[in-house]
Amino acid sequence: MKRILIPVLFLSTLQSFAQKGAKPDAYAKTISAQDLRKHLYIVAGPEMEGRETATEGQRRAAAYIESQFRSLGLQPGNNGSYQLFYDVYQDSLTGAALEVNGQSFQQDKDFNAIASNMDATMKFSEVVFVGSNSADSLKNVNLAGRLVMVISSSPMMGGRTPANSIFSTLLSKGVSAILAVNNSFPRSMPASRKGAQSTSAFKRSMTPQQFLISENVARAIIGADYDAIKTATSTVRTYTANVLLDVKKTTVTAQSSNVIAMLPGTDLKDQYLFVTAHYDHLGKRGDSVIYYGADDDGSGTVSVLEIAEAFAKAKAAGKGPRRTVVFMTVSGEEKGLWGSDYYSSHPVFPLAQTTADLNIDMIGRTDSSRKVGDSTNYVYVVGDDKLSSDLRPISEAVNKKYVKMELDYKFNDANDRNRIYYRSDHYNFAKKGVPIIFYYDGMLGADYHKPTDTPDKINYNLLAKRAQLVFYTAWEMANRNDQLKRDIPLDNNVFNRAF
């Protein structure tokens, strides 16, 4: 046995040194502006319908990504499947009613119910009017179980609470229902009967029942006082009225998926390097308005495809990575980092053996607010100062040797008001202690989360250069001798994804 074992070990060692010493330049050059453009006009094209989670457009995008992984000869990353599915639940109204003192009002003409809570018929004999700046006045007021009316041009919708409103205070007070007086009535088009999506069929607690109402409904409740009180921002006053709120709904269970492929490593194949991006976006509104999501995050998605191709070509030439490289595009990011959260809670590959996650979310455009350096040759690098002291030395050495971009650390600032570190899929790896680097262009400008985020506005040469930086960094991390250290304590800052 010794005569067989020694040559095998010797061959393995030579292979390891060969891979470590292999030059990545030729493979990095396969990441081209032309190929990125070709992929992005498909991923962010009209056929994908904005790739909203758990929709047909998202499923088409997943199928396209899977087809590309297959064509590269990558192995399926989920126990024989390229997709890792998770359930998505969505409420839909089947009926709603609102009555004041026996008078019935009509949906879309005078009210809309929000399908984000429970089937319920509620009957209240009083309504508490609360002004928009009454938070201090409510400190000693018991509102538990009460019906509250507010004036709001941006009411709580689908469970989201605007930071500039009174709603967070009402939630903390345990109100049972909220009537938000809104100036959108009567509606020219029927309001959507669909509620917010969720990845949990069961909730720890219920939010208040929510109705948007017209001023006609408000006057029916308050009477002659309404015109005077509606501008009284610090007022808290109770009115007697018999108000019936009725909501009937059904819950639809759908599925979404992460698309996962892997390139097996050699002598360190039981260690894993992830390259990730989210492929979902905001979908469409009606039949004509599509949120294309070219930069956010079509740019990251197509970069993963091109980086995967570069590694696959290296493997075909006998210069594959020592560690297994996992390429994962996730859905549900725009909903609350759902796909990456599901993966980190149900990992296919051991997180303890995952050396790092390199996450790409928006690298195709430039930050118009950036006033320093060269706006045509930079990328924001986020999270490289956290979890592992290996991250920044590797990142900077690779950049200096190969790409020579300006690495901007602006969003590593603990006081970053945008909280960028907490707002993309790498965070769910970081929460589990996996070292991460997040690559980002800082484009929170006029086209962010708008239908105008289209492929024609991408700087494809800059996109290619940034993707090459991620590839070179991945190459180094996949082939170095040691798994990255985890020697910086996890930041326990509370995650608050506030767009």
Residue 214 dihedral angles phi and psi, to the nearest 5°: -85, 170
Q: Two tokens at 142?
A: 């018991």
CA distance 39 to 454: 13
Q: From CA 389, how far away is CA 383, in angstroms rounded?
A: 11
Backbone dihedral region of 437: left (phi > 0), alpha (psi from -120 to 50 degrees) or beta?
beta
Query: How would you classify the pairing of strands 268-278 and 354-360?
Result: parallel
Task: Output the pLDDT for position 58.
Answer: 98
What's the pLDDT score for residue 5? 39
Yes or no: say if 326 and 262 are a contact pair by the CB < 8 Å rule: yes
Amino acid at 154: S
Task: Determine the Cα–Cα distance for residues 355 and 326; give it in Å rounded to an integer.
Answer: 11
279 closest CA partner among 15, 122, 129, 65: 65
Question: Which of 83, 334, 319 is closest to 196 using CA atoms?
Answer: 334
Structure confidence at residue 445 (pLDDT): 87
Is the four-CA dihedral 330, 333, 339, 344 of positive or negative sign?
positive
Residue 43 main-chain phi, psi, to 5 deg = -60, -40
CA atoms of 467 and 91, how far apart (whole Å): 39
Spatial contact of 180 and 147, defined as CB atoms under 8 Å apart: no
Contact present, 275 and 338 (Cβ < 8 Å): no
The residues facing 263 across adjacent strands are 325
* Whether the Cβ atoms of residue 299 and residue 366 lie closer than 8 Å to each other: no
Number of helices (H), then strands (E), in the chain: 13, 18
Query: Do 211 and 131 touch, CB atoms closer than 8 A?
Result: no
Task: Give the residue from 325, 196, 358, 342 showing the smallest Cα distance to 257.
Answer: 342
Burial class (CB in 10 A: 0-12, 13-18, 19+), 198: buried
Helical ranges in 96-208 per DSSP H: 167-173
Q: What is the pLDDT of residues 208-231, one digit of tens each?
A: 999 999 999 999 999 999 999 988
Residue 90 CB contacts under 8 Å (≥ 6 apart), including other chains: 54, 194, 195, 196, 197, 198, 251, 252, 254
Taken in order of first residue, the domains within the chain and their CATH numbers are 18-88+256-479 (3.40.630.10), 90-252 (3.50.30.30)
What is the C-alpha separation between 123 and 155, in angstroms, rounded? Answer: 22
Let me know: does 332 contact 495? Beta carbons within 8 Å.
Answer: no
Distance from C-alpha of 100 to C-alpha of 240, rounded to nearest angstrom? 11
Instruction: Tell me the pLDDT tens digit for each residue of 346-357.
Output: 999 999 999 999
Q: Which residue has the tokens 């087809």?
A: 67
Phi and psi, residue 67, nearest 5°: -60, -35
In order along its 499 residues, the chain shows pLDDT tens digits of 333 333 444 334 334 434 556 799 999 999 999 999 999 999 999 999 999 999 999 999 999 999 999 999 999 999 999 999 999 999 899 999 999 999 999 999 999 998 776 788 999 999 999 987 777 788 889 999 999 999 976 544 444 444 347 888 898 999 999 999 999 999 998 998 888 889 998 888 888 999 999 999 999 999 999 999 988 888 899 999 999 999 999 999 999 999 999 999 999 999 999 999 999 999 999 889 999 999 999 999 999 999 999 999 999 999 999 999 999 999 999 999 999 999 999 999 999 999 999 999 999 999 999 999 999 999 999 999 999 999 999 999 999 999 999 999 999 999 999 999 999 999 999 999 999 999 999 999 889 999 999 999 999 999 999 999 999 999 999 999 999 999 999 865 544 443 3
Query: What's the pLDDT at 14?
Result: 37
Q: Which phi-psi region, left, alpha or beta, contains residue 185 (left: φ > 0; alpha: ψ -120 to 50)?
A: beta
Query: What's the pLDDT at 21?
Result: 60
Determine the Cα–Cα distance for residues 78 and 261; give it in Å rounded to an integer.
Answer: 8
* The pLDDT value given to residue 19: 52
Tokens of 64: 């396209």
